[in-house]
Amino acid sequence: MALLDHIKSLWGIPKSIRYDNGPEFVSNILDKWAYENKVALDFSRPGKPTDNAFVELFNGSLRDECLNTNWFLSLDDARDKIEAWRTDYNEFRPHSSLDNKTPSDYVRTELLRLEN
């Protein structure tokens, strides 16, 4: 849970974490971390992708704009192409849900707001 502790030190503790019922989230360690940090684990209902529309939208964008448009010649090639897409998505592309700011600009704005 070092990654969650690192994120906690940067951004604070969320009130809840919403996720689906995939096997990657079946974890006693995650349960323990959430309990110790008073974070509610909010499972989406099986077969109800609308419970987590933001993740579904992101997954669709990743699939349509990156995975379906590239040939991956090796694992390193896949890493490079996916990282280039991620950088564009977070650093250069405005998102209407974030007041037409990039995610990185939105985070910087929110951090400045919280500091003042």
What is the distance between the alpha carbons of residues 65 and 57, in angstroms, rounded to a whole number?
12
Average pLDDT over residues 80-94: 95
pLDDT tops 80 at residue 107: yes
**8 Å CB contact between 103 and 90:** yes
> Scanning the structure block, which residue is given the tokens 């040939």?
71
Query: Does residue 29 contact residue 36 with C-beta atoms inside 8 Å?
Result: no
33-69 residue pLDDT tens = 999 999 998 877 777 766 677 777 888 899 999 999 9
Q: Is the pLDDT of residue 20 over 90?
A: no
Q: Which tops the pLDDT comparison, 89 or 17?
A: 89
Q: Phi/psi zone of residue 44: left (φ > 0), alpha (ψ -120 to 50 degrees), beta?
A: beta
**How far apart, in whole angstroms, are the C-alpha atoms of residue 53 and residue 33?**
25
Reported as a pLDDT band with limits 50, 70 and 90, residue 92 is very high
Please identify which residue in the block is written with the tokens 């939105």. Answer: 106
Angle separating helix axes 28-36 and 2-11, nearest 10 degrees: 30
Whether 25 contacts 48, CB under 8 Å = no
Is residue 40 within 8 A of residue 34, CB to CB? The reply is yes
| pTM, full prediction | 0.60
